Structure 1
């Protein structure tokens, strides 16, 4: 015996609206994503004279393991191939 389940137009609209309004599920961030989201605070610390290892130590003390060199690389704007070629 096969069951032929159907969804009414009203049910469909309710379901569709519920799916559109569902909040985004936040998962854990990668270190790069965390640094990106914290970039304004990191830049502010740099403007106050903190060096990369000092900032990395603060991140590390709060569970984000990163070296000063890696932090600097994450925060340095990426160069494109065309901007590195000599003319």
Structure 2
């Protein structure tokens, strides 16, 4: 019986083959999650930037607003008005 076999049999200290395989699988999953997080971080930054510049463009040129947003802009003063006044 080799050194690895004695570890697996509990006759010698160390990490068993099963534990080593689990560790490899966990490390692989961790690496994949880190990659996914990096992709999501970059995508989030991209969309935040795009939204920011889109909103700036709409402020500079209100004709770029959607019909719904234009109507909301017209109604906002009415919503804030005191009905008793």
Q: What is the TM-score with the length of structure 1 in the denominator?
A: 0.33
- Higher CA-based Rg: 2
Q: Report 1 or 2 for greater relative contact order, CA contacts < 8 Å, sequence distance ≥ 6.
A: 1
TM-score by length of 2: 0.34
